[in-house]
Amino acid sequence: MGHEIRDDSDRPVSAPTRRGVANVRLGRAAEEAAARYLEARGWRLLGRNVRVGRGELDIIARRGPVLAFVEVKARRTHTCGSPEDAVSPAKRRQVARLAELWLGARPWALGGVRDVRFDIVAVDLTTFPAAVRHLAAAFTSD
Amino acid sequence: MLASVPSEALTGLEGHAVDVEADVVAAAPSFSIVGLPGAAVQESRERVRAAIVNSSYEFPSRRITVNLAPADLRKEGPSFDLPVALALLQATGQVRRRGAGTDEPRGRCADDERRRGRIAAVGELGLDGSVRSVTGALAIAEGLRRHGATGLVLPAANASEAALVAGLDVYPVRDLREAAAVLAADGDGAGRAAAPDVADLLSAPPPDDTDWSDIAGQSQVKRALEVAVAGAHNVLLSGPPGAGKTMFARRLPGVMPPLTLDEAIAVTRVHSVAGLLPAGAALVTRRALRAPHHTISSVGLVGGGATPRPGEVSLAHLGVLFLDEFPEFGMSALEGLRQPLEDGDVTISRALTSVCFPARIMLVAAMNPCPCGYLGDRERACACPAFRVRQYRSRLSGPLLDRIDLRIEVPRLAPDERRRLDLDETSAVVRARVTAARERQLARLRGTGAYANAHMTVRHLRRLCRLEPDAVSLLDRAYERLRISARACDRVVKVAQTIADLEGAASITVAHVGESLSYRFHGDDLPLG
């Protein structure tokens, strides 16, 4: 049975909205802030925006015996809850799944590791200067 | 790292050895419990997590696998919280058992060998790390001792019942830290629950809020009930509303002989599994009176459920099951009573297990003579049409009535009798006579497994009951004229034997048979067994 392969490369792509562009820029800035925050506290960054299959892990960091997969979330306002709340169960599952895939491809990354954690770094812009909060072991993969 | 803590699971009253194993490895953090855990066991993950953190231990951010072995036994209830938490603390090295690794047999070996000389744990955890009481602690402790454990860490509220089990050190704890300390020291220096003074508990005087002497007059009913209690015969009380049927039933446990230690332990086991033992209580010392409402389901009365629980008939074990408004009970509930009345226990079968609860009861059923209640009353006329009376009585099946030895009419008292208050005997006096009669029965029934005349089989009856010649001829005449069945005849002899025992007579006389016959046929036109 043959599939008709549709070439939709010339399909009109919606132009980036102003709000969309702003959100992407906010996200990038927040990731930068989170990375600096972690490095200042002795974390060695093993990777940023690591693509695993279709998804992306924001930050992979190591400090001593602890390996952390860090999800970064930023919020300008609390109208939709705090940035920590914005990491939905679906997102948690995705991060956990991507981490398993990433670890599966690099078993050596667990050398000397005692704890593996899923952390959240929340960048909260409701205050000035922005507050950065680090939630260690924010969720697990079960 | 790997660690294990022995524990125990109950199906019914029977304990099964369960090893709680915890494995903690560096990998993406997760916490899973395997080994056929029920819903409450799955939820224990959240309680264990919070209890460990709030007891200022560290909850490992690693992959945690907890296995409840053997994996083919379904585990229910929250009693595995404590062993899971303790196994986790050991697997993460936060608690180290003294001498661990040297005395612990490794690899393949018999289950009993693995737990020999070890301290087991049961208990539910609160989020703050406190240890909460569990049900069935007595049966759990008995099972653990059988499986070779030497110690048991358990909630302080359950300690005194578990301490009844000899040969098992019981360590009562209030929170997770205390439990960890006991395990770390391998029991050395930890506080042990003292075995309760059972003689003291059993000899405690019964509460005097109800007494036989509270009931004025009714001397015939009192005599009949004394006979019933003395031989553990089932009775059916019939009388108009307010005549005192319930009042009599409430006072029956008080005139029964006190429980022996073995009996008290058997009763305690059932109450503990049902969660009816008061916190801190060691022993049920009084015979039970269970009086379920007539809307009770068959499962509620006989026991059952997805995880089988004892029903009212088992909670009344060695006591009185009082069924007021007997004909109003559901047909399936009443028919479910037939097996326990015959065998003295209830067997509940499920796909995976079969559970047996004890149910040796004295059944006291009560009913009105007719739907309005006044049939045969001295003053008030009955308002029921005849067919309603028949309908009402036909709800009682022959096979069930056949298991009832005495039918007693409880009439409304005449005014002069109601006023008499001074002449009545107290519970203690009646109890002494009943106890003496029971002792005579025990001596005669030694070796048969029965302890009262009601439980004699036909073989025992033929061999052990001696009838005088004129008693035999009266029985023969009754058999001819009253057209009673052979089985009913045997029941008449059983009750006559109890009457003889109350009197201390060596053989059954014509008077004993006569009195026994009168109890049999009081219920006039009820179907005969």
> In CATH, what number is assigned to the domain containing residue A123?
3.40.1350.10
B84 and B170 housed in the same domain: yes
If asked whether residues B247 and B354 sit together in one domain, one would say yes
Q: How many CB atoms lie within 10 A of CB B49?
A: 18
Whether residues B170 and B216 fall in one domain: no
Residues of B whose CB is below 8 A from A141: 28-30
Tell me the two tokens of residue A95.
């991060």
- Give a yes or no: residue A16 inside a domain: no
In a domain, B526, yes or no: no
- Say if residue B165 is in the same domain as residue B229: no
Report the residue of B61, B62, B94 to disrupt the A interface, i.e. the one with the largest count of A CBs within 10 Å: B61
User: Shortest Cα distance from A95 to chain B (angstroms)?
Assistant: 10
Q: Considering only the beta carbons, identify the residue of A66, A115, A140 that sits closest to B30.
A: A140
Q: How does pLDDT run across B187-212, given as a tens digit for each residue?
A: 887 788 888 888 778 877 766 678 88
* Average pLDDT of the segment spanning B18-34: 93
Flag whether B190 is in a domain: no
Residue B165 lies in a domain: yes
Please report whether residue B270 resides in a domain.
yes
Confidence of residue B113 (pLDDT cuts 50, 70, 90): low
In the predicted model, is pLDDT for residue B419 greater than 70? no
Kindly state whether residue B50 falls inside one of the protein's structural domains.
Answer: yes
Structural domain harbouring B162: 2-184
Asked if the Cβ–Cβ distance from A141 to B28 is below 8 Å, we say yes
Q: Are residues B234 and B164 in the same domain?
A: no
The C-alpha atoms of residue B498 and residue B450 are separated, in whole angstroms, by 14
pLDDT of residue B179: 96
Kindly state the tokens that stand for A51.
């693509």
The CATH number given to whatever domain includes residue B398 is 3.40.50.300
The answer as to whether A51 is a domain residue is: yes
Where residue B18 sits, what CATH number does that domain have?
Answer: 3.30.230.10
**Residue B192 falls inside a structural domain:** no
B173 with B52, same domain: the answer is yes
Q: Looking at the domain assignment, is residue B195 inside a domain? A: no
What pLDDT score does B102 carry?
40
Q: Which residues pair with B310 in a beta bridge?
A: B303
Question: Chain B residue closest to A142 (CA)?
Answer: B30
**pLDDT tens digit sequence for B51-79:** 999 999 999 999 999 999 999 888 988 99
Q: How far is A39 from chain B (nearest CA, A)?
A: 21
- The label of the residue with tokens 């705090």 reads A82
Q: Which of B147, B165, B184 is the last residue of a domain?
A: B184
- Residue A100 neighbours by CB under 8 Å, 6+ apart: A141, B28
Same-domain pairing of B229 and B290:
yes
Q: For residue B109, is it left (φ>0), alpha (ψ between -120 and 50) or beta?
A: beta
Q: Which residue of A has its CA nearest to B60?
A: A115
Mean local confidence (pLDDT), B401-421: 79
Q: Which residues of A touch B31 (CB under 8 A)?
A: 140, 142
User: Residue A48: which domain range?
Assistant: 43-139
Question: Domain for residue B207, yes or no?
Answer: no
Quote the number of domains for chain A.
1
* pLDDT for the residue numbered B523: 47
Contact indicator for A31, A50 with CB cutoff of 8 Å? no
Span B277-295, average pLDDT: 89
Is residue A4 included in any domain, yes or no?
no
Q: Report yes or no for ipTM above 0.90.
A: no
Residue A131 lies in a domain: yes
Residue B487 near residue B402 (C-beta atoms within 8 A): yes
pLDDT tens per residue across span A90-138:
999 999 999 999 999 998 999 899 999 999 999 998 888 889 999 998 8
**pLDDT for the residue B493:** 93
A140, B60: Cβ pair inside 8 Å?
no
Do B132 and B260 fall into the same domain? Answer: no
- Same-domain check for residues B141 and B278: no
Higher per-residue confidence, B417 vs A31: A31
